């Protein structure tokens, strides 16, 4: 069984499946009988199925990457909430009122960030369902950086980050330079 792709003069392209039989009636002349069938519709469906499969694999890969990114983004504020909650729980009696308030503020900020992430994921879902329009806007990077620093300012990093932030505030120079 063979498959052939034919192009007609009018531009039509067809696929054919052929079967050849050698007919030998013990004479000096060999004859070949060929049966053919137009399988263009089957081949087109096969090609479309392969294209769909490739597209599905790409979408699954993009979905996996999205889930990885979202999982990481959710872990960040959640880690902050858990960490500051544990600090408050373990050292509540030893912490100053200012430190307690700072930790509570960090928990509240991280909770708001987590809520915003959930809202963002829901917005993406609504956008995919064509139920939302995207609005572009500005963001204050300094405030965002300060929020991130606040959320991660527990443990040994407190002094380093606080010092860098103080220097940055005084000199108006980014702390990473």
Q: Tell me: the pLDDT tens digits for 33-42?
A: 778 888 888 8
Residues 18 and 64 in one domain: no
The yes-or-no verdict on residue 126 having pLDDT over 50 is yes
The yes-or-no verdict on residue 81 having pLDDT over 50 is yes
Read off φ and ψ for residue 45, nearest 5 degrees. Answer: -65, -40
Strand order in the sheet with 13-23: 2-7, 13-23, 31-38
Q: Give the residue numbers spanning the domain of 15.
A: 2-38
Whether 118 is covered by a domain: the verdict is: yes
Residues 128 and 63 in one domain: yes
Of all residues in the chain, the percent with pLDDT exceeding 90 is: 21
| SS3 state at 13 | strand
- Supply 65's token pair: 């990457």
Is 40 buried (19+), middle (13-18) or exposed (0-12) by CB count in 10 A?
A: middle
Whether 79 is covered by a domain: the verdict is: yes
User: pLDDT higher for 162 or 116?
Assistant: 116
Report whether 1 contacts 18 (CB < 8 A).
yes
Residues 12 and 72 in one domain: no
Work out how many domains the chain is built from and give that number.
2
Mean pLDDT along residues 140-161: 61
Residues 34 and 72 in one domain: no
Whether 158 is covered by a domain: the verdict is: no
What lies within 8 Å, CB to CB, of 89 at 6+ separation is none
| SS3 state at 39 | coil
Whether 104 is covered by a domain: the verdict is: yes
Which pLDDT score, from 0 to 100, does residue 1 have?
60
Residues 34 and 61 in one domain: no
Q: Binning pLDDT at 50, 70 and 90, where does residue 175 land?
A: very low
The pTM score is: 0.45
Residues 61 and 96 in one domain: yes
């Amino acid at each position: 069984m063979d498959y052939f792709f034919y192009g007609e003069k009018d531009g039509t392209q067809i696929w054919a499946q052929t079967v050849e039989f050698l007919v030998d009636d013990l004479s000096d002349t060999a004859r070949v009988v060929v049966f053919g069938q137009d399988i263009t519709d089957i081949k087109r469906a096969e090609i479309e199925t392969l294209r769909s499969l490739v597209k599905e694999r790409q979408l699954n890969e993009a979905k996996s990457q999205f889930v990885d990114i979202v999982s990481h983004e959710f872990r960040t504020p959640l880690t902050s909430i858990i960490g500051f909650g544990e600090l408050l729980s373990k050292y509540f009696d030893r912490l100053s009122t200012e430190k307690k308030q700072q930790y509570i503020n960090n928990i509240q900020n991280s909770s708001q960030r987590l809520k915003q992430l959930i809202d963002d994921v829901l917005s993406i879902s609504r956008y995919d369902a064509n139920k939302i329009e995207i609005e572009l806007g500005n963001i204050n990077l300094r405030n965002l950086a300060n929020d991130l620093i606040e959320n991660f300012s527990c443990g040994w990093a407190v002094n380093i980050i606080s010092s860098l932030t103080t220097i940055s505030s005084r000199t108006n120079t980014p702390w990473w330079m």
